[in-house]
A and B are shown apart, each in its own frame.
Chain A
């Protein structure tokens, strides 16, 4: 398990990093936490000639809330920061759910949210969470930054909206209104495994218990990270009931498109997806009400 030879660059500024990316084009890959890229390089599935390590670039490792109610998460924020952030914990208990299911503490000390998304793998856990939380992704290039809604970010297998010469620099989350809860769970074969199926749910209830907003994202049951749109619609505008939850679960299991592998058949994955949607809606609703 030894990577092919490569050149290593460690720029000190974002501008320098972008310049290097533009200079080396397809030959370059951005190194963030490295926990997806390095294993692929060791297996020689990825053979970049240049690694552009962005870890020295300042300003990408903070979690802050601005005055208009948006949370900014720097691309280099580590999983362990997400796990222990008091600010995130207040609004998003889902981060504790998800980070605890990602690999092990050593990996979480290195792996970053930005890298997890930029890898563009529907098997990763954060894409579904970001879908549920309706995040925006900030992408920076030579001409400045642009904001991409999460629904427009994932294109295909390992493909995202990030263009050549661009770097994912930040994730923005709208702070949800009162009465909101969120939750994530995945079924995994053992700790550190990719999900057999994973489900992220955020739900907002008004005082009478009617669902006013819902976000549901699915992990590893679709070629690209999937928003379970029909499931969301099944909930919105109605009081939460066993019937609406069942319907949302059924829609999710119908609308995903898992492929069979050692984790199980397509049928099993659809089945598990339905079960998890049901459970996560209930858990998110409990949190919304507490």
Chain B
């Protein structure tokens, strides 16, 4: 049970308050970008390339211009006149807004059609006739570095290959030596597949440039409105759109998951067109465009190795990665971390030797590398360590749960410095796994499995005991395009004791309107229901870097607590003045100050706030407002122990997830119901790449599953009954001891499922299968082992 410090009527931390935002969502009263309708608004549709790699010979727009309602067709040549045909990516690479000469992936933007209705825009798009000269593309990242491969980014002076960068961390010499001498070494080649966030709401915007006032209002699907405003000002400042002339509004967002962090060409074209014609321009992607052209996630080819002793002590790991970035590095990582937080791949285990290296390459695929519900490549890292740990257990014939218990970092060893330099803040990995094992009745399951194996039935049990790294991040290391990754909160309490608070983050379904109010309620004793939360409007909210990487609670949540504490300090002064005692004589309990030893003498927070406007002490500023910019001293390290049980149909190879137990530790919990909801959603997005989702390309670069008919997003039908629970190990450095939870389940679930399936198939000598593991993939693997 979670102990609450506040009453239910105040609704501070630990209360399962119903989500304030749901009243509008469940009644269809949300306000999304596509709900924005402005007078005179034009609609934009985008012509896309059918080829993965081709020269553009000619773009014929005459027929399109004849379509009734079509106003203009914009090409790369048009944008070139304003030097807007290229734009920077978040990783300081370059990306085409519209091409002038060459298309680099199938579905790339080629031209934009502007019309008075969205129907006319689509008809106009169909009427644009582009003449291409197809070229042989580079699709396989392993062939991208072949000397005979064409140099894709020949737009970059002096570029002679398709290599983007090399990244490494750890002690190579020590690690190589360990692997030469260790008793046991295991190795697997793994692909973490290219997937897509496929959020319910696709991306889109309404760019509204007001010529008279030289002012741009940009309604858009963005997880980081403030950063976007700065980027627009940096890119378009030369045409007069300086930062005070730009207002970015992110209204309600129907799922972000990292896919709404990047700047897509469509946004830029819409702004350019609105700027030129002086009318609002709406651009809303359709489902296929979203899937085919927007940033992908993952796509790491990892060679994972583990060295250890015969009795199960892990001694070291080695990871070699090939990262397929598509035609530009448009990842969404903090600037100094090209592989994000991959170096968390040493995992939850106590050893001191590792070496990791990554080479990134260009291919003729869509750009991206977004952190899909994952704190920057942590999903890839956790999959690698958790799979190779199971592989090690299999090799030495030890139960994977025992092996983990043997190697876990001990509770008393925190804060713990990892071999790649991270300082894990806190954790109790043994307790988490014990709880999960008890919940599934682990020993009984292993007995059942042994009996079933004897009968030839396929049952598997898989574990994942992961450590996350979230809450980016401390300003000394973390920035995006130079802007430090703090986040902010501003609280204004009105004279009657009700409040509004604004944040630099932006909820896409996380429930900020409820949880931030609870944090403030916890600190000030003002009922959460009396605290309105606003985000997403750069004209009103304080600056922040946005919501992704499970950073909202670790950064903005902390800012909320700190700003509220500033107000509590002020409240203490006012209470002392009103009660005519010294500040030291006052005692705080949520919602009021009372005089020590005379509890009948007290002032409620509402009385104190009222006094701040009506009767404030001389020499003190009137009002009751505070702002805080929180720069976290460290990242937070949530963890989890997941156990998955699968049954596999020996004839059809269908996989049934019989049970899935997830014990999460995200530190102190703000709203247990929201945490559980986050875990349910995240687990479902974990089963997705484990069993269903992968963007598949043929050798010509054609996407083979570019619609939801074939890109298999799991539904409630595919989702097993999630069994959730938690342990609580507060973060010692976070003001409210919270760690963030949004991404743990997405990160932790895939290896638990993969480990369970491989465990079921291990009697046939199968040691690894790449996700997504489908019935067909199992059939092929069993066929290879001559089972069929």
Give the B-binding residues of A (Cβ under 8 A).
1-2, 4-5, 44, 187, 189-193, 196, 262-265, 267-268, 271-272, 275-276
Contact = CB atoms under 8 A, between A and B. Distances in A.
Contact of B286 (A1, A187, A192, A263): A1
Interface of B: 118-119, 122-123, 126, 286-288, 651-652, 654, 692, 696, 704-705, 709-710, 712, 714-715, 717-718, 774-776, 779-780, 783, 788
13 contacts: A2-B118, A187-B654, A189-B712, A189-B774, A190-B712, A191-B718, A193-B712, A262-B710, A264-B776, A265-B776, A268-B779, A271-B779, A272-B652
A268 B652 CA distance: 9
A263 B126 CA distance: 31
Nearest to A192: B715
Contacts of A1: 286-288
Contacts of A268: 776, 779-780
Given A44-B126, A190-B714, A262 B705 contact: yes
B710 to A, nearest CB: 6
B123 A4 contact: yes
A8 to B, nearest CB: 15
Contacts of A191: 715, 717-718
A1 B126 CA distance: 12
A139 B783 CA distance: 47
Nearest to B651: A275
Interface of A, secondary structure class, is loop
A271 B788 CA distance: 9
Which 5 A-B pairs have CB atoms at the shortest separation, nearest pair first? A264-B776, A191-B717, A2-B122, A275-B651, A1-B286
A192 B696 CA distance: 20
A71 B624 CA distance: 77
A268 B123 CA distance: 41
A193 B709 CA distance: 7
A63 B355 CA distance: 70
Given A1-B287, A193-B712, A268-B776, A262 B118 contact: no
Given A2-B119, A193-B712, A187 B775 contact: yes
A184 B21 CA distance: 44
B107 to A, nearest CB: 14
B704 A190 contact: no
Given A5-B123, A44-B126, A265-B776, A189 B118 contact: no
Contacts of A272: 652
A69 to B, nearest CB: 36
Contacts of A44: 126
- Point out which of A2, A190, A191, A271 has the most chain B C-beta atoms below 10 A from its C-beta: A2
Contacts of A187: 652, 654, 775
Nearest to B774: A189
B386 to A, nearest CB: 25
Given A262-B710, A264-B776, A268-B779, 9 more contacts: A2-B122, A190-B717, A193-B709, A193-B712, A196-B776, A263-B776, A265-B776, A267-B783, A271-B788
B692 A189 contact: yes
B548 to A, nearest CB: 27
A124 to B, nearest CB: 14
B652 A264 contact: no
Given A2-B119, A262-B705, A190 B776 contact: no
Contacts of A5: 119, 123
A129 B45 CA distance: 43
Contacts of B775: 187, 189, 196, 264
Contacts of B783: 267
A190 B696 contact: no
B194 to A, nearest CB: 15
Contacts of B712: 189-190, 193
A274 to B, nearest CB: 9
Contacts of A262: 696, 704-705, 710
Contacts of B126: 4, 44
A232 B788 CA distance: 25
Nearest to A185: B652
B63 to A, nearest CB: 14
A187 B775 CA distance: 10
Contacts of B780: 265, 268
A275 B651 CA distance: 7
A263 B696 CA distance: 13
Contacts of B704: 262
A189 B783 CA distance: 20
A275 B714 CA distance: 25
Nearest to A278: B651
Nearest to B710: A262
A188 to B, nearest CB: 10
A262 B119 CA distance: 32
Contacts of A190: 692, 712, 714-715, 717-718
A140 B582 CA distance: 96
B629 to A, nearest CB: 44
Contacts of A276: 652
A205 to B, nearest CB: 24
Nearest to B788: A271
